[in-house]
Every structure is written in structure tokens, then in C-alpha cells.
Structure 1
Amino acid sequence: MRAVINQKLIEMGERERLKELLRAKLIECGWRDQVKALCKDVIKEKGIENVTVEDLVTAVTPKGRVLVPDSVKRELLQRIRAFLAQHSA
């Protein structure tokens, strides 16, 4: 079911629009700056020579997900539901 929904979002161009909306909302609410600060903390703790992108992703992803405001999650979910309601038949 998830794959079918994703395919429909891609085909209709809605996935890209949702990604742009999410990107804008995350920047607007300061999420991006918070994640950037988390990355700096990890680099400072481990040392720039000892950190890989993989290390950053592993360390920051769980915290970054928690930092996404509920209002942004709700808006995105609402848009997806509206799209599916409009295009499912």
C-alpha cells in the first residue's frame, strides 16, 4: 500500500511539492539550525578527523526526527490525505 501511494505521489509530481513544503517549513521553524548545531556538537566531541558522514547521520537522525514540530508533521499528513482523497477512485 505504501509503495502504491508513493508511486502515485511521484507520478503526479506531488512528492516533490511536499518535499519543498517540508524543506521550507523546517527552515522556517529553525529545525535546520538545530540539526546543524547537533552536527557541530558531534564533530566537536569526536574531532573532525574522526567523524564520517555515516557517524553524523547515525548520531543526529533520531534527535532530528524528534525536533520536527508536530504542527509540521500534521500539515504534511493533512496534505497527503487531501491528495489521496482527491486522486483515489
Structure 2
Amino acid sequence: MKHSVNRPPTPDEDVTESPERDELTLGEIINIKLVESGEKENLMELVRDRLVESGWKDEMRIACREHVKKKGRKDVTVDELIRAITPKGRASVPDAVKEELLDRIQNFIRSAAL
């Protein structure tokens, strides 16, 4: 069975038995294991919480409002807003949040023996 490029296999699809296993990259394997174990959702929740605690979410809300105010409410689409704000958002994620996430992923990889 071919797996979608946009989603990892569902838990009932056993990728370890699949002949396509050799075609998966290490990143794809890690992503699949994160999803199967439920750890990916835990990591997403951790990041959301840390971004709120750090004030990042409020900064992005303000940046979005300023962009809409500058362009005019009727002249801004959601897609345009995302394109305009995403680079600033990615660049302004606190290093502490990135480090904590990286540590958690590394610990997961070690514990999963990947």
C-alpha cells in the first residue's frame, strides 16, 4: 500500500512490514513513530503552551492586526496574511522553546532506539 506524502500511515498500517520501508527517510520514520506513539500530539501541545507562556502568540496576533490595518480589512486574504507573517513568526520563536522541543525529540529517538 502506498502511503500519502501528506500524512503518515495510520496506526493500523504496519510500515515495519512494508516493502516500502527502505524508501522512507529517517525523518519520515521518526514522524511515523511520533504519531503512532502519541508523542507528536504531546509535543505540539508543549510548543503551544510554551509559545503562549513566552508571549509569542500575542506578538503574532499584534503583527496580524497591524498587517490587516495597514492593508485594509477587505484587501487581505488569510493566505496573504499567512505568507506575510510566517517568516516573522518562525524567526521569533524563542530559542528556549526550540531547545526544549529538540531535547524532547532526541530523548524520544533514544528511547525508541531509532
Q: Please list every run of 5 or more consecutive structure 2 residues that lacks an aligned counterpart in the other structure.
A: 1-25
Please state how far the C-alpha of 1:22 moved relative to its aligned partner. 0.3
Are residue 7 (structure 1) and residue 29 (structure 2) matched?
A: no
Deviation at 1:68, TM superposition (A): 0.5
Tell me the CA shift for residue 88 of structure 1.
1.4
More helix by share: 1
| Aligned counterparts of 1:51 and 1:66: Cα–Cα separation in 2 | 22
* TM-score (structure 1 length as normaliser): 0.97
Normalising by structure 2, we get a TM-score of 0.76
Aligned pairs for 1:46-85 within 5 A: 46-85=71-110
3-state secondary structure, aligned to 1:38: helix
- Give, in angstroms, the shift of residue 10 of structure 1: 0.1
Residue 88 in structure 1 maps to residue 98 in structure 2: no
Structure 1 residue runs without a partner (length 5+): none
Identity of aligned residues (%): 47
Give the aligned CA root-mean-square deviation in angstroms. 0.7
The structure, 1 or 2, with the larger RCO (C-alpha pairs under 8 Å, 6+ apart) is: 1
The corresponding residue for 1:40 is 65
Instruction: Choose 1 or 2 for highest CA Rg.
Output: 2
| Residue correspondences, number | 89
CA–CA separation in structure 2 for the residues paired with 1:56 and 1:2: 29
Partner of 1:18: 43
Distance (whole Å) between structure 1 residues aligned to residue 73 and residue 113 of structure 2: 49
